[in-house]
Amino acid sequence: MNLAQLLDVLREDPCVTHWRTLPARQAQWRPFPPGLDPRLTGALQGLGITALYSHQAEAIRSALAGADTTVVTPTASGKTLCYNVPVLDAILKDEASRALYLFPTKALAQDQLAELRRLSEAAAPQIKVYTYDGDTEPAARTAIRAVGHIVVTNPDMLHTGILPHHTRWVRLFSSLKFVVVDELHQYRGVFGSHVANLLRRLQRVCRFYGSSPVFICASATIANPGELASRLLGREARVVDQNGAPSGEKHFVFYNPPVVNRSLGIRRSSTLEARRLAVGFLKAGVRTIVFARSRIVTEVLLSYLKADAGPAAGAVRGYRGGYLPKERREIERGLREGSVRAVVSTNALELGIDIGGLDAAVLAGYPGSIASTWQQAGRAGRRTDTSVAVLVASSSALDQFVVTRPDYFFHKSPEHGLVNPDNLYILMSHLKCAAFELPFADGEEFGVSTTPALLEFLGEEGVLRRTGDRWHWMSASFPAEEISLRSASAENVVIIDTTRGARVIGEVDRFSAPMLVHEDAIYLHEGRQFHVDKLDWAEGKAYVRPVDVDYYTDAELSVDLKVLACNKEAARPAATHGWGDVRVNALVPMYKKVKLHTHENIGSGRVHLPESELHTTAYWAAVSEEALEGLSKPELQGALSGLANLLANIAPLYLLCDRRDIRVVPQLKSPFTGLPTVFCYDAYPGGTGLSERLFSLAPAVLAAAADLLAGCQCEAGCPSCVGPAITAGPAPKQAAGLLLQLLGEGDGHGLSG
């Protein structure tokens, strides 16, 4: 049975809720821009590239003209040439020219290095291309700094290993012509806010050495690529988003597993359904990639598929964080060469690593954003052949919303990549790093007009000292090493494996630590379980050891939220919407032990830790009591809890964030509004812009929540809509629907303050 026959069988499956056929697209060709070095055009032609796709030609012309440029096209559309061509052209014309490439992961950097070297060696063997990361041998680092024309690295290495030691990189920074920022859409939230400040530091060092590099960014499709690029770079960037690459016919299938418990809204496991579909593709000889939502599910699916494959089990591989680099390279090579017929992966293969041409992608659960879904689906059909992507939904509210609303998914992504580089916690951290790298002159700004006042504060703290008209770093510490790009807090809790020479295996921000690494917690890292033997709260260290148990822990969080300032407000006939500064006090009183697979509660324990305090921003929605006169107190409580669950699931669709990035707290009678209120707050100190965007998008988000609620097949409420914790309450589905109706009343336009 070939792919076409298999698709005919799949069309008859009653679980298929939508089938979208995306027609094949012809390439839009353009000639090489005039003026390219003949050695480069000759190398391209030698590699079989005799013309460029239209977006490649436009992006290259833009970069060569000195404009910051952001290329936004789908997977496998040849974005790499958009930056490799102008970079190599500049080096060929001036051997002193330098370029810096930033990739979000070491694996992606290594993969892109091979293609870059293939082109550079064909054009001019004397061009030196190197990676510079934590795996680079010390002996090689000196040579890279001295002769490297193109340095390929990641934000973390730029943060701790390059910028603080810029005096060793004079050749790079004095002649830097281009900076490439790949996978731009990955730089959002806290990580993106850090990277924006990192790029401020980079540009400051470049100015010191007399260079002004052009930035070339590449991104998957998001709603606001130009805005995200300008926030990250601190200046406007031209957007190139008209894709000229060809593609074969693609079938995109939405698959909703059958209901096994209608009253609770529970469907057959998406993992088991993904297994069944993948086995069908594998037995038909269709090269397949299966994406799982977690490392544990990846390994479970891998064991299933290996068992189902029988003698061909060796052609089925797994791919996730935690695999050794050599093993990952072997799997990637097997995918390109065809010896690996199926791979089960976390989102580690979502990024643009070259894995050749696959024919089918099975997504076991919604990846969390439309951008990620297209990235994963795009891993199949990288050639011009017919391909298929199947999204297998779970019972979660988010999955059910997407799988039952194909028009929402197939229209342009509403998701926004958001960053807040002026978050005070993050800004102050990088201001210290910048001062360590170079003294600040009086009147110099670092992204914000209040820089002089911030420098004065650091002077009062004894970190900086003013001499003449300059502020100099005075502390004995090395600031970059104390700052994680993945957290907004300067004080993280490090996680130490006591069985492996007291090796640090990870870290968690201070606010989340009581929930994740309290004593007796089961901490998951790289697919492995670790028991937390001790949490030294004062020192910020959690001591763990590997275990193999059949349960995980789930901490209970008690939250007290107080509004400190209302920055924006909008009134509706029966509701009030607001956004402002809040203080969140959180206490973890206890935890539960939950059995894997069955989710049974098999035990509990107390957590003895102090209350955590978080200053952040929040969006809130309050409903007038007059409009709720018909609801009893239990019904109102159930309605608020149900609304909170709906918003927690729907908001990430519009904000391009993880569910953990924005948290929702209902209050039966808020001390601030005096009314039944639901608060959605940024889960990081100072906020990262999520709740402010949610305030402006509130009508659309509330309408989507109402749509999800109305479309759910349950009667009174279930985990797929209002959540599992309140299904025993009196008609929470209907009460939550009333709240949504009242909150959404108005003109339907975005809110403004």
Instruction: Give tens-digit pLDDT for 159-211.
Output: 999 999 999 999 999 999 999 999 998 898 888 999 999 999 999 999 999 99
Go through the chain and tell me how many residues it has.
753
Task: Name which of 419, 695, 716 is nearest 578 in CA terms.
Answer: 695
Q: How much is the pLDDT for 122? A: 95
Instruction: Give tens-digit pLDDT for 127-168.
Output: 999 999 888 888 899 999 999 999 999 999 999 999 999 999
Task: Name which of 647, 643, 610, 607 is nearest 738 in CA terms.
Answer: 643
Average pLDDT (236-245) is: 95
Average pLDDT (541-568) is: 89
Q: Can you tell me which residue has the tokens 């709740």?
A: 691
Q: How much is the pLDDT for 596? A: 64
Query: H-helix or E-strand containing 635?
Result: helix 633-655
Q: Has residue 747 got a pLDDT over 50?
A: no
Entry pTM: 0.81
Confidence of residue 414 (pLDDT cuts 50, 70, 90): low
Q: Has residue 728 got a pLDDT over 50?
A: no
Angle of helix 189-209 versus helix 225-233 axis, rounded to 10: 50
CB 422 within 8 A of CB 454: no
The residues, ordered by sequence, that sit 6+ positions from 469 with a Cβ below 8 Å of its Cβ are 441, 442
Residue 160 per-residue DSSP state: I
408 CB burial (10 A radius; 0-12, 13-18, 19+) = middle
Average pLDDT (86-101) is: 97
Confidence of residue 460 (pLDDT cuts 50, 70, 90): very high
Query: H-helix or E-strand containing 372?
Result: helix 370-377
Confidence of residue 746 (pLDDT cuts 50, 70, 90): low
Confidence of residue 724 (pLDDT cuts 50, 70, 90): low
What percent of the chain clears pLDDT 90, i.e. is strictly above it? Answer: 58
Question: Phi then psi for 189, rounded to 5 degrees?
Answer: 65, -145
> In this predicted model, which residue has the larger pLDDT, 95 or 594?
95
Six-digit token string for 58: 């436009």
Instruction: Give tens-digit pLDDT for 680-717.
Output: 999 888 888 899 999 999 999 999 999 989 888 777 88
CB 730 within 8 A of CB 637: no
DSSP alpha helix (H) spans, 79-188: 79-93, 106-123, 138-147, 155-157, 170-174
DSSP 412-441: PP-------TT-HHHHHHHHHHHHHHSPEE
Q: How much is the pLDDT for 372? A: 85
Instruction: Give tens-digit pLDDT for 15-49.
Output: 999 999 999 999 999 999 999 999 999 999 999 99
Task: Name which of 324, 323, 302 is nearest 313 in CA terms.
Answer: 302
Q: Which residues pair with 464 in a beta bridge?
A: 473
Q: How much is the pLDDT for 482? A: 83
Q: Which residues pair with 595 in a beta bridge?
A: 551
Q: Has residue 365 got a pLDDT over 90?
A: yes
> In this predicted model, which residue has the larger pLDDT, 731 or 120?
120
Q: How much is the pLDDT for 368? A: 82
**Regarding beta strands 387-392 and 360-364, do their DSSP bridges make them parallel or antiparallel, or are they unpaired?**
parallel
Average pLDDT (466-489) is: 85
Average pLDDT, the chain: 89
Q: How much is the pLDDT for 748? A: 45
159 CB burial (10 A radius; 0-12, 13-18, 19+) = buried
Six-digit token string for 268: 């057959």
